[in-house]
Amino acid sequence: MSRFFATRAGVWSGFGAAALVLFGAAPLLLSGFRLGLLAQFLCYAIVAVGIGLAWGRGGMLTLGQGVFFGMGAYLMAMHMKMADAEFRNGHGAVPDFMELAGIRELPAYWVPFASPVFTIAMILVLPTGFAVLLGFAVFKRRVKGAYFAILSQALAGAFAILLIGQQSMGGFNGLSRFRYFFGYNLDDAVNQQMLYFIAAGVLLVVVAVALQLRRSRYGELLVAVRDAEERVRFLGYDAANIKVVAYAAAALFAAVAGAIFVPVVGIISPASIGIVPSIMFILGVAIGGRASLVGPVVGALAVAWAQTALSEQFPSAWTYAQGLLFIVVIALLPGGIASVAALTKRFQAKSATVEAAA
Amino acid sequence: MDLLVGQLFTGLSTGSILLLAALGLSLTFGQMGVINMAHGEFIMAGCYTAYVTQQVVGDAGVSLLIALPVGFLVGGAMGLVLEWLLVRHLYQRPLDTLLVTFGVGLVLQQVARDVFGAPAVNVTVPEFLRGGVDLLGTAVPKTRLFILALAVVAVTVVALVLRFTAAGRRIRAVVGNRDLAETAGISSRAVDAGTFFIGSGLAGVAGVALTLIGSTSPTTGQSYLVDAFLVVVAGGMGRIKGAVVAAVALGTFQAVFETYSTASLAKVGVFVVIVVFLQLRPQGLFTLRTRSLA
Amino acid sequence: MTTALTCTNIHVDFDGFKAVNGVDLTLDRGEVHFLIGPNGAGKTTLVDAVTGLAKYSGSVVKDGVELRGKKVHHIARRGIGRTFQTATVFEQLTVAQNLDIAAGAGRSPWSLLRRRTVLPDNVVAVLEQIGLAGQAQTPAGILAHGQKQWLEIGMLLVGDADVLLLDEPIAGMGHEERDTTGRLLHEIAETRAVAVVEHDMDFMRAFASRVTVLHAGAVLASGSVDEVSNDPRVQEVYLGASHEQEAIDAATA
Ligand SMILES: Nc1ncnc2c1ncn2[C@@H]1O[C@H](COP(=O)(O)OP(=O)(O)O)[C@@H](O)[C@H]1O
Ligand SMILES: [Mg+2]
């Protein structure tokens, strides 16, 4: 099985099957409401692919992906709020939440977000650029391991607190109540379905990019840095550059996921990007298998689904489950579900050779 | 002048709170390399210990005096259990320890929620700690002075224990060279457990003290944890001295920064300062030199 | 025979403790230059200094370029390769992947982002040279101890290092493996400068072109094997050690 998926034909058929499920089966079988939920889960899965790359392959436990997710989300939300205000009150109008907060004048940094092109460019450039800068600052000085994890977590905390303090960014409540997504009415079921297709398409692209990164020479180098960073330096590489690429890719994935999340879910607030949500992104990746390609996707979808199914009805039990999953999976099954598959395969192979010998 | 004294004191006070929260971490993270994300929940357990003690005892002053040692034991016992059940199996996997102990923290928070409820509870401040004293023309709350004094005492005791007692010598030996210490007949298992007990106990004490200046809820500990970790990171691995300097410096920075901007910008400022600081000293303020390649 | 590396007056100071105290050393191409000395003499620290891991005063010049103050990876790019006392290879990757990474420090970002289709010629050649051609697809983590050390040397060769600093390359090897390694070192040294940090006196006598003896951070003697063996100061420092070694050799013979 795994042999097959390593071949060219295997990769294509894997993507083909995924596309069939995402673009064929799901829209046929699921109601509009459930499709919307799935679109939301797919956004988490996109984040998870990036974490798998940075943490599973690169050894960088990034506990602050909420920052990049949030950047993408807020940038998109700013554009959508501007577009809504413009639709209601004409060019240069102040978004509704600012009126409520008593802000009469549009802050200067909001103005360019009236442009869709500018917004998309910022979503692609700003979080990634920030990740590159921070990555250089941290990795060049060889801050790594637990130190890096804690810094990334502190960043998520600082970012959430910063946003809570900004009335012109919606403060504690965040930004919500959007009507249009690049001119498409969000109340229209067809447009909701289009958002789902965008999320599914982006997920496939992101997985393809991650696959290429893993199988390239860069991917081998990244594993080498994860396992023996200092050795890589003595071979003449600047290990910091290698790490920055994976970190920035993870940031880009998270930002894009955030940007899709906003029109799908209809709200973004500091509560969904701070320390706790950031570390929660890790859970699905750990369950699915941090070092595998598809594992993080599956794990993220499963956790998101369980969260939706359980957290409303059994909030207490769900929190216990989350905590116990962290404990049990990481302590006893660090390779996640993916490693179970590999283990059983090895076991089968072993019993097969034993039979052949007998 | 008044403003300056006021800010300096606020800085010292914020620093002493940070230090109380970070001191135990500095032992477990700094000396053993174990990142215990449940440390915040041990602080929270200390807070609830103070609350429960007061419910039982009634008198605020007596209950505070009882709660301090009991909080130490409660935190320490929780730490021992955590070390024995999980941490000791994960010594070679620091990042995994971080995530596992985060899971433990989640569970403990939910336990607190189920037992005490989600809304915050309050502990009555004893009579002798109410009001303020006049310090160079600035009114300084007595509770803050008490916490400052408690931090000084805690640091002194930890430093003395590490330096002058047999147990302390063993801890330092294991930190310096685990294998060599083993060869010298020191059971590093026992030392690890002991270190974890003391470090977690200090979290309990910190929790009791923090009820004097704020209310207690299941997420109380979490809010202190990140700052406490930053103190340890900036102070350098395994250095109590570093934790003290870093806590006071960060506390002062935060206090001064807050007066000139906002509390939320101060948090961001602290983060920026630490990243910049790590450019100059990636290993923190004070470092233990080791030969390891890592 | 040309001089590849010149170290002048190297001092390394660890919080007041002088681990290396005014060492001069020249490495010539065509020579297998042994660095010997008792434990703690400063041999590894000297290698650390030259390769940029330890801060030092003094000067290290390779082919006319001063290396002091350069970053670890820049020094490596200038053709200085080292191994470590405990072999460090990328255990999760195959032997071929290990060598391919070592061969690729100069690759463009573009070529890094693509898959490796064939093994580069020099990787194939070195696989042969270090005797691991049959294990190209084996994960490096399951190689035998000696094979890991050969792989490490091979990684320096494909990386075009022409000054090789090998820290105890035969530690834990059997007699046969040692001889193979010794011959490999001479083969390598035909066009390169090779420095070997070693404890084993027999190995040194069999394969050294030149010997430098370090003691307490300073050079005690330097010259041919005979010159150094007959130096009274070396005998004084080494008497215990060499007797001990002879006793061990006799016991294991
Ligand atoms: N990072 C360090 N900090 C303090 N002392 C060190 C450090 N590295 C090496 N030393 C000391 O320097 C001396 C030389 O060590 P080393 O170069 O490893 O010796 P050798 O390789 O010759 O056995 C030893 O006494 C060692 O303890
Ligand atoms: Mg040595």
Instruction: Check pLDDT > 80 for residue C210.
Output: yes
CA-CA distance, C7 to B94, in Å (whole number)?
40
pLDDT digits (tens, 9 = 90+) for C3-23: 999 999 999 998 889 999 999
Instruction: Check pLDDT > 60 for residue C240.
Output: no
Residues on chain A touching B113 (C-beta within 8 angstroms): 316, 319
Predicted confidence band of residue B287 (pLDDT cuts 50, 70, 90): low
Cβ pair A316:B113 closer than 8 A: yes
| C18 Cα–ligand 1 center, Å | 9
Cβ pair A220:C102 closer than 8 A: no
Predicted confidence band of residue A142 (pLDDT cuts 50, 70, 90): confident
**Structure tokens belonging to residue A238:** 């600047």
Short-list A260, A281, A236, CA closest to A50: A281
| More confident of the two residues A3 and C115 | C115
**Structure tokens belonging to residue B36:** 């215990």
Highest mean pLDDT among A91-100, A347-356, B228-237: A91-100
Cβ pair A236:C115 closer than 8 A: no
pLDDT digits (tens, 9 = 90+) for C20-76: 999 999 999 999 999 999 888 999 999 999 999 999 999 999 999 999 999 999 999
| The residue type at B61 | G
In this predicted structure, which of B90-104, B137-151, B175-189 has the lowest mean pLDDT? Answer: B175-189
Residue A227, domain member (yes or no): yes
**Structure tokens belonging to residue C48:** 């650390």
Task: Please give the pLDDT value at position A351.
Answer: 58
> How many other C-beta atoms can be found within 10 angstroms of the C-beta atom of residue C6?
16
State the average pLDDT over residues B179-183.
81
CA-CA distance, A249 to A255, in Å (whole number)?
10
CA-CA distance, A278 to A275, in Å (whole number)?
5
> How many other C-beta atoms can be found within 10 angstroms of the C-beta atom of residue A173?
14
- Comparing alpha-carbon positions, the chain A residue that sits nearest to C109 is A218
Residue A23, domain member (yes or no): no
Contacts with C185 (C-beta within 8 Å, 6 or more apart), sequence order: C32, C166, C169, C194, C196, C207
pLDDT digits (tens, 9 = 90+) for A33-67: 999 999 999 999 999 999 999 999 999 999 999 99
CA distance C17 to chain B (A): 12
CA-CA distance, A23 to B189, in Å (whole number)?
56
Highest mean pLDDT among A138-152, A338-352, C153-167: C153-167
What is the dihedral angle through the alpha carbons of B158, B161, B164, B166, rounded to the nearest 10 degrees?
Answer: -150
Q: What per-residue string of b and e applies to B89-109 under the rule 16 or more CB within 10 Å gives b? A: ebeeebbbbbbbbbbbbbbbb
Predicted confidence band of residue C245 (pLDDT cuts 50, 70, 90): low
Residue A69, domain extent: 31-274
State the average pLDDT over residues B255-272.
83
Instruction: Check pLDDT > 90 for residue A203.
Output: yes
**Structure tokens belonging to residue A188:** 């229209």
C25 three-state secondary structure:
strand
Task: Please give the pLDDT value at position A352.
Answer: 54
pLDDT digits (tens, 9 = 90+) for B236-249: 766 788 889 999 99
Beta bridge partners of residue C221, listed in sequence order = C213
In this predicted structure, which of A293-302, B103-112, C172-181 has the lowest mean pLDDT? Answer: C172-181
Query: Is C154 close to ligand 1, i.e. is its CB under 6 Å away?
Result: no
Selecting from A216, A235, A239 the residue whose C-beta is nearest the C-beta of C115 gives A216
CA-CA distance, B174 to B168, in Å (whole number)?
10
φ, ψ dihedrals at C193, nearest 5°:
-100, 130
Predicted confidence band of residue A1 (pLDDT cuts 50, 70, 90): very low
H-helix or E-strand spanning residue A247: helix A239-265
Task: Please give the pLDDT value at position A117.
Answer: 97
CA distance B245 to chain C (A): 21
Query: Is C42 close to ligand 1, i.e. is its CB under 6 Å away?
Result: yes
Nearest-10 crossing angle of helices A116-139, B263-280: 50
Is C251 buried (19+), middle (13-18) or exposed (0-12) by CB count in 10 A? exposed
CA-CA distance, A305 to C86, in Å (whole number)?
47
| More confident of the two residues A253 and B265 | A253
Cβ pair C112:A221 closer than 8 A: yes
Q: What is the pTM of this model?
A: 0.92
State the average pLDDT over residues B1-20.
82
Residue A126, domain member (yes or no): yes
Do residues A151 and B233 make contact, with C-beta atoms less than 8 angstroms apart?
yes
Question: Which 43-72 residues of chain B touch chain C by CB within 8 A?
Answer: none
Interface residue A169 vs chain B (CB under 8 A): no
Do residues A2 and A294 make contact, with C-beta atoms less than 8 angstroms apart?
no
Q: Based on the structure, what is the number of domains in chain A?
A: 1
Instruction: Check pLDDT > 90 for residue A2.
Output: no
Residues on chain B touching A330 (C-beta within 8 angstroms): 96, 99-100, 103
Query: Is C126 close to ligand 1, i.e. is its CB under 6 Å away?
Result: no
Q: What is the DSSP secondary structure assignment for residue C18, as one 8-state letter?
A: E
List the domains of chain C with CATH numbers: 3-79+162-252 (3.40.50.300), 91-160 (no CATH)
Query: Is B166 close to ligand 1, i.e. is its CB under 6 Å away?
Result: no
Contacts with C109 (C-beta within 8 Å, 6 or more apart), sequence order: none
pLDDT digits (tens, 9 = 90+) for C103-161: 999 899 888 999 988 999 999 999 999 999 999 999 999 999 999 999 999 999 999 99
| More confident of the two residues A31 and A90 | A31
Short-list C84, C49, C83, CA closest to C69: C49
Interface residue B289 vs chain C (CB under 8 A): yes
CA distance B227 to chain A (A): 8
Question: Which 185-214 residues of chain A touch chain C by CB within 8 A?
Answer: 212-213
Do residues C45 and C7 make contact, with C-beta atoms less than 8 angstroms apart?
no
C119 three-state secondary structure:
coil
Residue A306, domain member (yes or no): no
State the average pLDDT over residues A176-205.
95
CA distance A221 to chain C (A): 7
Strand order in the sheet with C65-66: C17-28, C3-14, C57-62, C65-66
Residue A347, domain member (yes or no): no
Give the closest ligand to the alpha carbon of residue C40.
1
Query: Is C14 close to ligand 1, i.e. is its CB under 6 Å away?
Result: yes
Do residues A79 and A114 make contact, with C-beta atoms less than 8 angstroms apart?
yes
Among C10, C23, C45, name the best residue to mutate to test ligand 1's pocket (greatest count of ligand atoms within 8 A of Cβ): C45
Task: Please give the pLDDT value at position A88.
Answer: 87
| C132 Cα–ligand 2 center, Å | 27
Interface residue B294 vs chain C (CB under 8 A): no
Query: How big is chain C, counted in residues?
Result: 253
Do residues C44 and C197 make contact, with C-beta atoms less than 8 angstroms apart?
yes
Do residues C76 and C129 make contact, with C-beta atoms less than 8 angstroms apart?
no
- Residue that has been written with the tokens 């990019």 in this structure: A209
Query: Number of A:B CB contacts under 8 A?
Result: 121
Q: Provide Rg for chain B, Cα atoms.
A: 19
CB half-sphere exposure, C115, CA atoms < 13 A: 10
| C241 Cα–ligand 1 center, Å | 19
- Comparing alpha-carbon positions, the chain B residue that sits nearest to C85 is B293
Question: Which 216-275 residues of chain A touch chain B by CB within 8 A?
Answer: 229-230, 275
- DSSP states of B37-99: TTHHHHHHHHHHHHHHHHHHH--HHHHHHHHHHHHHHHHHHHHHHHHHHTGGGGTT-HHHHHH
- Residue that has been written with the tokens 């506390």 in this structure: B251
CA-CA distance, A43 to A52, in Å (whole number)?
15
CA-CA distance, B28 to B26, in Å (whole number)?
6
> How many other C-beta atoms can be found within 10 angstroms of the C-beta atom of residue A17?
10
C9 three-state secondary structure:
strand
Pairing mode, strands C210-215 and C32-36: parallel
Measured in whole angstroms, the distance separating CA A269 from the mean position of its chain's CA atoms is 16
Do residues A304 and A284 make contact, with C-beta atoms less than 8 angstroms apart?
yes
Short-list A146, A160, A162, CA closest to A61: A146
Task: Please give the pLDDT value at position B116.
Answer: 96
Residue A297, domain member (yes or no): no
Interface residue A224 vs chain C (CB under 8 A): yes
Do residues B49 and B74 make contact, with C-beta atoms less than 8 angstroms apart?
yes
CA-CA distance, A42 to A195, in Å (whole number)?
11
Task: Please give the pLDDT value at position A344.
Answer: 73
Q: Where are the alpha helices (DSSP H) in A183-238?
A: 189-215, 217-234
| More confident of the two residues A213 and C235 | A213
Residue A292, domain member (yes or no): no
Domain edges within chain B: 2-280
Contacts with A20 (C-beta within 8 Å, 6 or more apart), sequence order: none
Task: Please give the pLDDT value at position C239.
Answer: 58
Interface residue B293 vs chain C (CB under 8 A): yes
Interface residue B263 vs chain C (CB under 8 A): no
Instruction: Check pLDDT > 90 for residue A16.
Output: yes
Predicted confidence band of residue C85 (pLDDT cuts 50, 70, 90): confident
CA-CA distance, B150 to B209, in Å (whole number)?
8
φ, ψ dihedrals at A81, nearest 5°:
-65, -40
Task: Please give the pLDDT value at position B172.
Answer: 81
| C41 Cα–ligand 1 center, Å | 8
B138 three-state secondary structure:
strand
pLDDT digits (tens, 9 = 90+) for B41-66: 999 999 999 999 999 998 999 999 99
Which chains would you list as touching C if contact means 3+ CB atom pairs under 8 Å? A, B
State the average pLDDT over residues C164-185.
93
CA-CA distance, B11 to B143, in Å (whole number)?
15
φ, ψ dihedrals at A56, nearest 5°:
-65, -45
- Residue that has been written with the tokens 């409660």 in this structure: B74
Do residues A47 and A233 make contact, with C-beta atoms less than 8 angstroms apart?
no
Residue nearest to atom 5 of ligand 1 (CA): C14
Task: Please give the pLDDT value at position C106.
Answer: 86
Residue A290, domain member (yes or no): no
Query: Number of A:C CB contacts under 8 A?
Result: 73
